[in-house]
Structure 1
Amino acid sequence: MAYGSIELVERHLFSLYFVLPLLGVCLGFLFHNWYPSHAFPGDTLCYVTGMAFAVVGIQGHFSKTLLFFLLPPIFDFVLSCPQLFGLVPCPRRRVPRFDPETHLLPPSKAVFLKRTSRLSAVVLRVLAGLGCTELTTLPDGTILEATNLTLFNLAGSVVAFIVRYGLVYDGDRR
């Protein structure tokens, strides 16, 4: 085996040492938290998961892959900025609610109790035009409510993984 191959195998084994226990924890959490859920992952699970990805990405020399996995949370932050900076109200619960009539999970909505500012209206209309939010308006154009400005990172991470290994992979695919 060539030197590069041994080093590559060692990097992947190092990654497995971190990812397999994390996978076990996440599967255990999923098993005990299947619908109807009884627990919220909270900061502890989120920090441990993020730390594991960072360690694997940095120490395993998978910096490009780590960068692609960080793009969805960065985009999520940018998308949430109107709520974070007070342009759009941020409801207490930003998760979808189960609708027993349709058996669907419609997104929660931010309700505007007063007329939106011009800046808020422009930002919301641009985001609605990009398909990032849905607006409920009156015939005169007054915005009544908007779906929350959040994304689920799973979809973004899957896309990042496909882009990383499908489009910009710079090594041997074996």
Structure 2
Amino acid sequence: MGVQLVAASAITLLAAGLMLSTYQTLIISAGIAIIAGLMTWTTLPTLYETFLNARLSGVDILKPSRPVIPETMGLPTAIIYLIGLFIFMPFPFMDWFDGSARLIHSEDPSAIGTFPYRKLGEILAAILAIQSMVLLGFADDVLDVRWRYKVWFPAIAGIPLLIFYYTNEGATHVMIPLQLRSYLGDLVDLGSFYYVYMVMVIIFCTHSINILAGINGIEAGQSLVISCSVIINDLLFLYNNSDRASVEAHLFSLYFMLPFAGVTTALLWHNWFPAKVFVGDTFCYFAGMTLAVVFNFIYSCPQLFRLVECPRHRMPRLADDGLLRCSTVTLESKKPMHKLGRVVVQMLHSVGLVKAFKYDDKGRIVECNNFTLLNLVLAHCGPMSERNTTCVVLCLQVMASMFAFFVRYKLIEYVYDKPV
């Protein structure tokens, strides 16, 4: 009854919005987001037994009872999200169809203009990239692919975006800050290196969420905070902005972010402590392809690139008192540590990003926390319960988003002479 009431209220509000709003397509996207969220919320519980019987399950090792719960629930979440995008796809182009659903071409440009094939290509390329990442993420969940191979999954899934950008002569230049323009000029064309940069961003963002995983609610919670931040930024830009190209770019972002926030909210409901489902690598890759979260990946790089010993699992450990403590790594347990790795550990320790637990006779660090955001939080704020750890990390994400807004809307005028 509650779901039907929410759905009826949403439809009523959307109908009123469609009559009053100049952004009717955006209102439709918001409606699809609500419907997709409700579908996710009601569908996931019906799949518990199906996934358990298919052995798509995992042990919640941070609970004393170590319950077995369904895993890979990011797959149905992503499928519902993609279905929502498929249903929404015609709406941005309704002005180019007549009453018989026939496409109006450019024979009469003064009447309606040329059909925006580029815009359609952007949407299709983005959907194909997300869909590819969902497939590769599910393969990782089922096959448990080794890190050396799956690190390239996002680059493979991002090929449609790169091809579309290249074939449509996308810009490869970057704007230079005011302080450096006397040396480098206003713009610098990166050429092929721009595509290398795009691939690196895709890889970093996708694995950032996957690396952070380990406690209930953290992957879906962080994804929801970031998606809401992107939505707020897009809406702020739409307000009182006359640049049509910029408006279209932010509308494009909203068309993908609103349904994502809807399905992620529903998934978080089921994944919140104590979790009834695990999101799996499928959701981590799916969310990472849709969002941009880089800090946790950068912080993890010393271990990912083997400058520092990297155990297979770096999630926090459950103590006898039921609280979480940071997991640690012994720096020279298998082989002598590289000099560069020693320098990195010492530098991070000096700025508080590494907490030392043991020293050798020469005063060198031999045991410290693992290099993930969860362990960093527990090293300085722990021990804490799993629920409180999730809340602290999400609060940090909110603070990071607020700082990003401050940089974007306040500090930007000291670096660039026009909005970027």
Distance 2:349 2:241 in 1: 53
Greater share of helix:
2
Distance 1:88 1:3 in 2: 48
TM-aligned CA distance change 1:114 to 1:136, over 3 Å: farther
Matched, 1:19 2:231: no
In the TM superposition, what is the alpha-carbon distance from 1:5 to its structure 2 partner? 5.9
> In the alignment, what sits opposite 1:86?
306
Q: Which of residues 340, 354, 375 is equivalent to 1:133?
A: 354
Q: Which amino acid aligns with 1:35?
A: F
Q: Deviations over 1:139-163 (max 9, x none)?
A: 6224331111123696465233442
> In the alignment, what sits opposite 1:110?
329
Q: Which amino acid aligns with 2:343?
A: V
Q: Which amino acid aligns with 1:22?
A: F
Distance 1:164 1:77 in 2: 22
Check conservation: 1:135, 1:143, Cα contact below 8 A: yes
1:143-158 aligned within 5 A = 143-151=365-373, 155=396, 157-158=400-401
TM-aligned CA distance change 1:3 to 1:137, over 3 Å: closer
TM-aligned CA distance change 1:168 to 1:100, over 3 Å: farther
Q: Which of residues 28, 45, 52 is equivalent to 2:266?
A: 28
Matched, 1:122 2:307: no
Check conservation: 1:109, 1:148, Cα contact below 8 A: yes
Gap regions ≥5 residues in structure 2: 1-21, 23-239, 375-392
SS at match of 2:312: coil
Distance 1:114 1:52 in 2: 38
Check conservation: 2:241, 2:247, Cα contact below 8 A: no
TM-aligned CA distance change 1:123 to 1:10, over 3 Å: closer
Matched, 1:4 2:223: no
TM-aligned CA distance change 1:98 to 1:26, over 3 Å: farther
The two structures have a TM-score, normalised by structure 1, of 0.65
SS at match of 1:28: helix
Check conservation: 2:360, 2:366, Cα contact below 8 A: no
Distance 1:51 1:42 in 2: 15
Matched, 1:164 2:385: no
Gap regions ≥5 residues in structure 1: 54-69
Q: Which amino acid aligns with 1:18?
A: F
SS at match of 2:242: helix
TM-aligned CA distance change 1:102 to 1:46, over 3 Å: closer
Q: Deviations over 1:16-51 (max 9, x none)?
A: 321111011111111001112344433322333233
> In the alignment, what sits opposite 1:49?
287
SS at match of 1:48: helix
SS at match of 1:168: helix
The two structures have a TM-score, normalised by structure 2, of 0.31
Q: Which amino acid aligns with 1:42?
A: G
Check conservation: 2:359, 2:367, Cα contact below 8 A: no
Distance 2:356 2:369 in 1: 7
Distance 1:3 1:165 in 2: 14
What fraction of aligned residue pairs are identical, expressed as a percent?
A: 41
What is the aligned residue count? 152
Distance 1:35 1:100 in 2: 19
Check conservation: 1:115, 1:142, Cα contact below 8 A: no
Check conservation: 1:110, 1:146, Cα contact below 8 A: yes
